[in-house]
Amino acid sequence: MRRRRKTDHPVSHDRWLISYADFITLLFALFVVMFAASQTDKTKMAAIQESYLRAVQRGAVLEGRSVVARILGGTVDEKGIGNAMLRGPGGTKKVLPAVTPQIPAELLPPMNALTEKLSKEIAAGKLKVSLGARGLVISFRQTALFKSGDDQVQMDAIEVFKPIAEVLQSLPNHIVVEGHTDSVPIHNSRFRSNWELSAARSIAVMDMLITKFGIDRTRVAILGYGENQANGDNESEEGRAKNRRVDLVIQNLGIEASDLTAAATPAPSSTSRR
């Protein structure tokens, strides 16, 4: 059987026309899109111009605020008008009325009695008696109760607590004993930090109130702040002396239910320490 001869097709030199036609089509489409995007919506533009003209003709300002700003909106201010966002991301800052702390009137007679009975110690700078929103505060200088770096209450300091204990026994208020130190680090065989020292001194005063003066243990709590609640400047000796203190706080009845439970450490079931 004879094989059929393969015929050679001639090579076309016009293939580039196809690519060129595609390119021209895409270029035309690009120009159409650009032309459409460049056309302004005359209806919307006319509405904006009309609104602006009306605002200008009406005075352009309402209560110090432009009408345009009112139209644009924004966070509503205290008068119910928008665009208070100009004053900050949260809108107009609302001014809250100042809260005046309530001085516990029921603790005023005990404060006067203690001020009179402890007048010598107050005059000598050993302690200070003050009345504030949280209650009646009797603030002892460290030198009035303890030796430096120690947590044992000195014997002569116990006499000072007798009139204080009489007042405590006549009141139902809770008591918080707060220990404070200066910022000078302490590290000895007994205490590793000022925090431990301040807590130990608070416990020592609490033990004395319970064991020697019969104060109900369920009324007493302790706090050790270390150097974190300074009254004076730790850069000077005078300031550091003010910071080394123990505060005995007779709590205001209005705040003791929340603050004492949340913030204070309750007295342990046993008054003995290791």
Compare 69 and 235 and report the one with higher pLDDT.
235
Lowest mean pLDDT among 46-60, 87-101, 255-269: 255-269
Greater confidence (51 vs 95) lies with: 51
What one-letter code names the amino acid at 165?
A: A
Q: What is the mean pLDDT of the chain?
A: 77
Say how far apart CA 4 and CA 7 lie, in whole Å: 9
The predicted model gives 44-66 an average pLDDT of: 65
The two tokens of residue 264 are 């204070």
Give 214's pLDDT tier (boundaries 50, 70, 90). very high
Task: Work out the average pLDDT over 75-86.
Answer: 52
Segment 86-115 shows an average pLDDT of: 70
Question: Amino acid identity of 247?
Answer: D
Helix (H), strand (E) at residue 247: strand 245-251
Contacts of 77 (CB under 8 A, 6+ apart): 83, 84, 87, 91, 92
Domains and CATH numbers, the chain: 105-266 (3.30.1330.60)
Coil/strand/helix, residue 127: strand
Determine the pLDDT at residue 272: 35
Question: Can you tell me which residue has the tokens 């895409």?
Answer: 26
Confidence label for 215 from pLDDT (cuts 50, 70 and 90): very high
pLDDT score, position 264: 43
